[in-house]
Amino acid sequence: MRSYRNEVEALREQLVAWRRDFHQHPEVAFEEVRTSQKVAEILTELGLEVQYGVGKTGVVGILEGTGNGPTILVRADMDALPIQEENNVPYKSQIANRMHACGHDGHTAIALSVAKILAGRRDQMSGAIKFVFQPAEEIAAGAKAMIDDGVMEGLKPDVSLGLHLWNDMPVGRVAVTRGPAMASSDSFHLWIEGRGGHGASPHQTYDPILAAAQIITAAQSVVSRNLPPLDAGVLSCTMIRAGDAFNVIPSEVEIRGTIRSYKNEIRDLIVTRFEALATGIAQAMGCTARLEFFEKTPPLVNDLAIGEQLRHGFGQIDNSLEIVDDVRTMGAEDMGFFLERAPGVYFFVGSANANRGLDYPHHHPRFDVDEEALVIGASLLTAAVADYVIPGQ
Ligand SMILES: [Zn+2]
Ligand SMILES: [Zn+2]
């Protein structure tokens, strides 16, 4: 792998300026109008073929080399969050209740930098790069929307690459995790129907609240008793609604929650067991239960061989970095949709700096990153992509 650190250093000011500009103008899911316009303008100036409105506010930039070779998908998410920023920095969000509190401003600036550096090497390139600027990652809808709009068709990607700035790790540490790195995320609605009545006459009712309590408790046996102990899974009931008066036993309870796992077969097992417990317990208590399940994102699984290649290459080009292979979270990312269709890697770039107070967690109103992580991220992503499309560089 060849280092692109010098090229990124030369672009450092521009990279930081882009990130700060996006930071000051955050836009939430599917409202990334200014952001996508700016991205499209920059890509057009760089001479890329640009497609607008892919998945509503998504933008695709295609950089084709002069020779034949693989097509590499580079993905950056562009959306911000409905959070009021509490940082006092010159590049603070200018929009009330809107904030780049996850680092997607940095991801967008990094992908633009990769595009700029490699656009200047087009005549050495064999193959193509598809830069995918995705909307609505935070509501897990943007990747699917772009795929439904045909982003994986036409010039078909062979490999998918992307990164996330990661404040759970100090700047200088990079994680290229083996296999599953982030979980599938699905939600459910469970309705338990009984027969309501007077709070003083429970014998005349089938109390759905008592049934719900048993079901919620029993649901905790799915992960502990039904999953193989070395497989990860989560089943959390996070919302419960029932009743309107202190002396009325209601006739219905609604429970909502989330299911997480690293494998599709575990995901199916959790749903099947949960449904069997809910319907069985409800029936035994004179009630009925109905489970509705909403698939949001698949597990995010890194390709083992590509991961190995990247860890090796990253270590080669920058021995000041600490490269680890085991950072996992039950949090979710819709990058998994791209990786399901074209194998690749989504790596985490440490961005925290505790000495400078830059270590608030993602989605916190004081979240901010050490901008050195932008330079590291852009260097590594450029090197990884170039490794595929610039042979013998
Ligand atoms: Zn986020
Ligand atoms: Zn994020």
Tens-place pLDDT, residues 124-181: 999 999 999 999 999 999 999 999 999 999 999 999 999 999 999 999 999 999 999 9
**Closest ligand, as measured to the CA of 75:** 2
Rounded to the nearest whole angstrom, what is the distance from the C-alpha of residue 138 to the centroid of ligand 1?
5
Rounded to the nearest whole angstrom, what is the distance from the C-alpha of residue 10 to the centroid of ligand 1?
29
Contacts of 111 (CB under 8 A, 6+ apart): 74, 75, 76, 131, 133, 381
Query: Which residues have a catalytic role annotated?
Result: 79, 137
Rounded to the nearest whole angstrom, what is the distance from the C-alpha of residue 181 to the centroid of ligand 2?
14
| Average pLDDT estimate for 111-128 | 97
Say yes or no to pLDDT of 60 above 90: yes
pLDDT for 64 equals 97
Between residues 393 and 220, the one the model is more confident about: 220
CB 78 within 8 A of CB 135: yes
In DSSP terms, which residues pair with 9 in a beta bridge?
Answer: none
Helix and strand numbers (H, E) in the chain are 9, 16
> Which helix (H) or strand (E) is 16 found in, with range?
helix 5-24
Rounded to the nearest whole angstrom, what is the distance from the C-alpha of residue 362 to the centroid of ligand 1?
6
| Cβ < 5 A residues, ion ligand 1 | 102
pLDDT for 309 equals 98
| Average pLDDT estimate for 270-291 | 98
| Average pLDDT estimate for 283-290 | 98
- State the chain's mean pLDDT as an integer: 97
pLDDT for 353 equals 98
Sequence ranges of the chain with CATH classification 3.40.630.10: 5-181+299-389
Tell me the longest C-alpha to C-alpha distance in the chain. Answer: 82
**Closest ligand, as measured to the CA of 361:** 1
| Average pLDDT estimate for 233-240 | 97
For the beta sheet containing 184-193, the strands, ordered from the edge strand earlier in sequence to the opposite edge, are: 233-242, 252-261, 184-193, 288-297
Q: How far apart are CA 253 and CA 249, in angstroms?
A: 10
Rounded to the nearest whole angstrom, what is the distance from the C-alpha of residue 265 to the centroid of ligand 1?
26
Sequence ranges of the chain with CATH classification 3.30.70.360: 184-297
**Closest ligand, as measured to the CA of 165:** 2
Predicted confidence band of residue 393 (pLDDT cuts 50, 70, 90): confident
Alpha carbon 356 to chain centroid distance?
26
Q: Where are the alpha helices (DSSP H) in 128-285?
A: 142-148, 208-221, 264-284
pLDDT for 387 equals 97
Predicted confidence band of residue 391 (pLDDT cuts 50, 70, 90): confident
Rounded to the nearest whole angstrom, what is the distance from the C-alpha of residue 104 to the centroid of ligand 1?
8
Rounded to the nearest whole angstrom, what is the distance from the C-alpha of residue 232 to the centroid of ligand 2?
22
Q: Percent of the chain, pLDDT > 70? A: 100
| Average pLDDT estimate for 310-336 | 97
CATH number, span 5-181+299-389: 3.40.630.10
> Which helix (H) or strand (E) is 267 found in, with range?
helix 264-284
Where do we find the tokens 């959390």?
Answer: 236
| Average pLDDT estimate for 217-241 | 97
Q: Percent of the chain, pLDDT > 90? A: 99
Instruction: Give the three-state DSSP class for 97.
Output: coil
Say yes or no to pLDDT of 392 above 90: no
Question: Percent helix, strand, coil in the chain (nearest 5)?
Answer: 35, 30, 35
CATH topology of domain 184-297: Alpha-Beta Plaits (3.30.70)
**Closest ligand, as measured to the CA of 166:** 2
Say yes or no to pLDDT of 115 above 90: yes
